[in-house]
Amino acid sequence: MPYSGTCTVLAISAVSSVLGFCVYYDKKRREDPDYKRKVRSRRLNAKLAKEQKQRDATVSAMAQVPQAPAQALSGLVRPNTEQYFLEQIHLGELRILAGDIETGITHMINATSVCIRQQTFLHMLESTLSEEVFSMFMLKMLQAEQARNNSNGIMPNVASPRYGIAW
């Protein structure tokens, strides 16, 4: 079999040629002045796409949960504050769906502040909001309660940067 040695030599030379070409091409690619900029932009685009995908998942999860009708919410507040309550809930939902979670949570806290049966409302929010958004909501709610307790029952100017919550 005189061809087996020749085939081996040809196979080795083909593999070494391919590897040599790969090393040469990689060196040329890395020497490109825009290489680092392109890599950074690709990574940034991948990160932004991942964040957008998470936002879309949150929006779709909230869209699948049936929205509480106004009649179910009407018994939770006094009649003179019902319009404000419903408005704050609506604004909070819109802001959260738009991706502005901080502002949405602030509106939900505003609605909670005028609610008579807060526990019922909190259970309703817990079932409709994602875990992440609800935990942020509860954290800000506790901060607002602490601010109210520290002021001896007198509501401080919570719209100030110190508290970050507008009642």
Does the domain at residues 69-150 carry the CATH identifier 3.30.70.1250? no
pLDDT of 166 above 50: no
Q: What average pLDDT is seen over the chain?
A: 77
Nearest one of 65, 139, 127, 73 to 101, comparing CA atoms: 139
pLDDT of 167 above 60: no
Within a 13 Å sphere around the CA of 42, how many CA atoms are in the beta-carbon half?
A: 6
Question: According to the model, what pLDDT value does residue 24 have?
Answer: 92
pLDDT bucket at 23, cuts 50 / 70 / 90:
very high
CA–CA separation, 68 vs 71, rounded Å? 8
* Opening angle at CA 86, ends 80 and 88, nearest 5: 105
Rounded to the nearest 10°, the torsion over CA 78, 80, 81, 82 is: 80
pLDDT of 14 above 90: yes
Q: pLDDT: is 119 or 63 the higher one? A: 119
Angle in degrees, 0-180, between the axes of helices 3-31 and 35-64, rounded to the nearest 10: 80
The predicted model gives 87-111 an average pLDDT of 86
Domains of the chain, by residue range, sit at 3-58, 69-150
CA–CA separation, 159 vs 145, rounded Å? 14
The predicted model gives 114-131 an average pLDDT of 84
N- to C-terminal Cα separation, the chain: 91
The predicted model gives 76-89 an average pLDDT of 76
pLDDT bucket at 20, cuts 50 / 70 / 90:
very high
Question: According to the model, what pLDDT value does residue 58 have?
Answer: 64
CA–CA separation, 134 vs 153, rounded Å? 26
The predicted model gives 146-158 an average pLDDT of 62
Question: According to the model, what pLDDT value does residue 157 have?
Answer: 47
* Opening angle at CA 74, ends 71 and 78, nearest 5: 165
